[in-house]
Amino acid sequence: MVDNPNGGATMPFVHQQASSGFSVWGLLALLVGIFLIVIVLLPAVSSKGFPAHRVVCTTQLKQISLAMLLWSEDHRTNFPMHVSFTNGGSKELTLRGLVTPTFWAISNQLQNPAAATCPGDKERLPRATSFNAMTDRKISYFLHLDATVEKQDSVLLGDRHVATNGVALPAGVVQIHDPQTVSWTTNIHNGQGNIALADGSVQQVTSKGFRDVLKTTIANTLVIP
């Protein structure tokens, strides 16, 4: 049993049986490769004026998005937010405004609980050392409830420092009615941010770039940790 991220009653930590076969090992090999690339390139990138924590952040978003895609292969191409908690997903709890249950669902695919926290997000440090110890206060990324595998250019998740009309979004479920009002705050990446799309790709975007991507989706329902 683990504590509810918002307090109150405890909820069971559902640790799914890991998928077998080439897909899992292929993903693990890819994640190791990404890690090694970051280790090699990080000093050079930092010396050219790009914050090192933003490079790590994009790598983590890549890991999470790939883990969610791999999970979806075993659940009829549905992301955890669209599958009942009783079937290993996180739907009911996500609709209550919790992000942590989605990370519980993909724990076997992701393996690394520290990936949920951007190193530039000082308010969420130190990172969780296990999925059992994870709460929404250790997570740096929002979930996009309207993302689907079929719509590959839809936003799947991204940095949590999102604002509308200049006001930071509160924790919980937030419906964005007008993407034109959306921007990044300066809390984490100095007025810019990172997003992962439903095809597993990751983009570093300005506020305008974020708005442009959101405009491609009919509905934009975010869950902010």
In a domain, 9, yes or no: no
In a domain, 83, yes or no: yes
Question: 37: pLDDT confidence band, cut at 50, 70 and 90?
Answer: low
In a domain, 217, yes or no: yes
Rg (CA), the chain: 16
Distance, in Å, from the CA atom of 188 to the CA atom of 108, rounded to the nearest integer, reads 28
Residue that wins the pLDDT comparison between 22 and 100: 100
In a domain, 6, yes or no: no
> Amino acid identity, residue 42?
L
In a domain, 177, yes or no: yes
Question: What total of structural domains would you count in the chain?
Answer: 1
Distance, in Å, from the CA atom of 34 to the CA atom of 123, rounded to the nearest integer, reads 26
pLDDT digits (tens, 9 = 90+) for 86-145: 999 999 999 999 999 999 999 999 999 999 999 999 999 999 999 999 999 999 999 999
Contacts of 129 (CB under 8 A, 6+ apart): 113, 114
Question: 9: pLDDT confidence band, cut at 50, 70 and 90?
Answer: very low
In a domain, 88, yes or no: yes
- Domain of 108 in residue numbering reads as 17-224
Distance, in Å, from the CA atom of 82 to the CA atom of 8, rounded to the nearest integer, reads 24
Token pair in block for residue 125: 């440090």
Q: Is pLDDT of 162 > 70?
A: yes
Contacts of 183 (CB under 8 A, 6+ apart): 162, 163, 164, 166, 207, 210, 211
Distance, in Å, from the CA atom of 44 to the CA atom of 178, rounded to the nearest integer, reads 39
In a domain, 150, yes or no: yes
In a domain, 84, yes or no: yes
8 Å CB contact between 143 and 223: yes
